[in-house]
Amino acid sequence: MAIPGPWDTSGTASNLADAIRAQAASQAKQAAQKSGLVDTSTNPLDQLMQQIQSINVAPTPYDQLLQIASGQASTQFDPLIQELQGQISATTNRAHKNEGQAKAMYNDLAKDIAAQMPEITNQLSQASQETEQRYNQTQQALQGEYNKQAEAQAALLKKLGIQAAAPEASQQAMEDQAYFQQQSKSDEANALDLLNEMKNADVSYNRQSADNTRLAGVNTAQDIAAQLEDYLQQANSKLSGLKTSKQSAIQSALAQLQQQDQQRIEKQENQQYQHLMDMANLQLRIQQMQQDAANKNTLFKGTNGPSGAANYLSEIYPTDNTTSSAILSAINDVMSDPNVIAGKYDSGQKDMYGQEKYNDVTNEYLIDLLRKRLSGEGQGPLTATQYSTADINNAINALLAYRGQLR
């Protein structure tokens, strides 16, 4: 509750408490005298305290406040979070696609390089065959040349009649032939070895180039993956920061909403408390007037104010406490009007200097206010009550009695 539990014994609350206690004592005395005007079965102070203690304005449910706070934070942060999440997803997909494309591109290039190896092998194999054929032809030509020389030498020795010298004469030629044939074979073997080494070197180079190209594709994909990892670390850090900020905003908004809700509760409890105090004051005035009226044996007897009005009404309505109390309440409201207390009211006109023009409060003005109060145009507590013309006239007379002007 917005007010302390113990009774406040200072200011207006103290005056009201003293008045209620005094009224309770007066009621007890009247009950002893069996006036029948007041029911003393309950203590007005106890009743008021029970009503004050029963004031309870329900707070707004926590889940509802949390939903409102979450909605406010979502409006601020969700677009940023969703945009960053979209960027992360798009960048991740693009990086994975680039990894695959890099591997595929370098693998295709490696396949193209490896596909050249059969051609290189065929070319060098053909060159080896051609070299071998050339050396074979050279061997055959050399053999033919030495055969021709041997035949010519044999013919010459025969012509000279010295065939016996033929073996010795041809021995040197045969040795020369054998030497050159052996040299030709050695040159052929060296040439074939060189061609074979060239073939092996080219094939090895081609194979190594294909492997290096394939490895370059793997390295490029790894570089892309590493770059993606660096990006994701930074992006996820930002995303985590946004989510943390959103939660902080929710807690801040929730605390503010709870504070506003507490202020609302205190305001409404204060309003209910003030209403109860006003009603207690009104009831106290009515009971006091009834008490004063009950103590009078004759009408008026030189009294005015609330007692004069109460005396008059108790005479007119001896058994109808409801109507008399309602009329008396309306009269009290009229006499409590700020304009009536001030003694002047705004005429709605202005003087020659442009200032608001005020008129003095007269009986006509008071009667007009009372009629409006009783007819429902005013703000009286019983505006729904239907009053007859006689009731209104009686109310006007009670008002004059209040002012000490009833004759």
Kindly report, residue by residue over 324-336, the tens digit of the pLDDT. Answer: 888 988 888 888 8
Do residues 221 and 357 share a domain? no
Among candidate residues 255, 278, 308, the one where a domain is terminated: 255
Do residues 233 and 307 share a domain? no
Q: Is residue 274 part of a domain?
A: no
Q: Is residue 40 part of a domain?
A: no
Q: Return d(Cα 381, Cα 283) in angstroms, integer.
A: 12
Do residues 156 and 105 share a domain? yes
pLDDT at position 82? 93
Do residues 174 and 300 share a domain? no
pLDDT at position 24? 45
Do residues 213 and 320 share a domain? no
304, 401 Cβ separation under 8 angstroms:
yes
212, 50 Cβ separation under 8 angstroms:
no
Q: Is residue 59 part of a domain?
A: no
Question: 179 is written with which tokens?
Answer: 């030497």
Strands (E), 124-264: none
Question: What pTM value is reported for the model?
Answer: 0.42
Q: Is residue 300 part of a domain?
A: yes
Q: Return d(Cα 273, Cα 280) in angstroms, integer.
A: 10
Do residues 244 and 314 share a domain? no
Among candidate residues 193, 223, 255, the one where a domain is terminated: 255
Q: CB pairs under 8 A, 24+ apart, for 211-215?
A: 211/110, 213/106, 213/109, 213/110, 213/113, 214/106, 214/107, 214/110
Q: What is the mean pLDDT of residues 101-116?
A: 80
Do residues 230 and 122 share a domain? yes
Do residues 72 and 201 share a domain? yes
Q: CB pairs under 8 A, 24+ apart, for 82-88?
A: 84/235, 84/238, 84/239, 84/242, 85/239, 87/235, 88/232, 88/235, 88/236, 88/239
pLDDT of residue 370 exceeding 50, the answer is: yes
pLDDT at position 17? 44
User: How does residue 45 score in pLDDT terms, banded at 50, 70 and 90?
Assistant: low
Do residues 217 and 77 share a domain? yes
Q: What is the mean pLDDT of residues 66-73?
A: 92
pLDDT of residue 37 exceeding 60, the answer is: no
Helix (H, G, I), strand (E, B) or coil at 233: helix
Do residues 121 and 184 share a domain? yes
pLDDT at position 30? 47
pLDDT at position 249? 94
Q: 244 versus 283: which is more confidently predicted?
A: 244
Closest-CA residue to 303 (of 396, 406, 395, 391): 406
pLDDT at position 169? 53
Q: What is the mean pLDDT of residues 156-179?
A: 62
Closest-CA residue to 250 (of 92, 78, 390): 78
Residues in the chain: 407
Q: What is the mean pLDDT of residues 58-83?
A: 91
Among candidate residues 199, 227, 255, the one where a domain is terminated: 255
Q: Is residue 284 part of a domain?
A: no
Q: Is residue 375 part of a domain?
A: yes
Q: What is the mean pLDDT of residues 370-375?
A: 86
What residue numbers bound the domain in which 379 lies?
296-407
pLDDT at position 259? 93
pLDDT tens, 241-275?
999 999 999 999 999 999 999 999 888 888 888 87
What total number of domains does the chain contain?
Answer: 2
Do residues 227 and 344 share a domain? no
Do residues 72 and 144 share a domain? yes
Q: Is residue 232 part of a domain?
A: yes
